[in-house]
Amino acid sequence: MFDGFTLDAIDTAAGSLRVRHGGSGPAVLLLHGHPRTHMTWGKAADFLSSGYHVVCPDLPGFGRSYQPGDAPDSSNSSKRAKAHALVELMKRLGHESFFVAGHDRGSLTAFRMAMDHPACVRKLVIVDAIPVIEHLERADWTFARDWYHWFFFAQPEKPERAISADPLAWYDKLSPRLMGSEAYDDLLDVIRDPVVIHGMIEDYRAGLSIDHLHDSADRDAGRKVTCPMLCLWSLRDDLEKIYGDPVAIWRSWADDVRGFGIESGHHVAEENPYSLSRAMREFFGAH
Phi, psi of 255 (to 5 degrees): -75, -30
Residues labelled catalytic: 104, 266
Sheet strands side by side (includes 16-22): 6-11, 16-22, 53-57, 27-31, 98-103, 121-127, 229-234, 257-262
3-state helix, strand, coil in the chain (%, to 5): 50, 20, 35
DSSP string for 81-144: HHHHHHHHHHHHTT-SSEEEEEETHHHHHHHHHHHH-TTTEEEEEEES---HHHHHHH--HHHH
Write out the H or E segment, with its range, that includes residue 33: none
Angle at 82 between CA 211 and CA 192, to 5 degrees: 100
Dist CA 118 CA 132 (whole Å): 19
CA R_g for the chain: 17
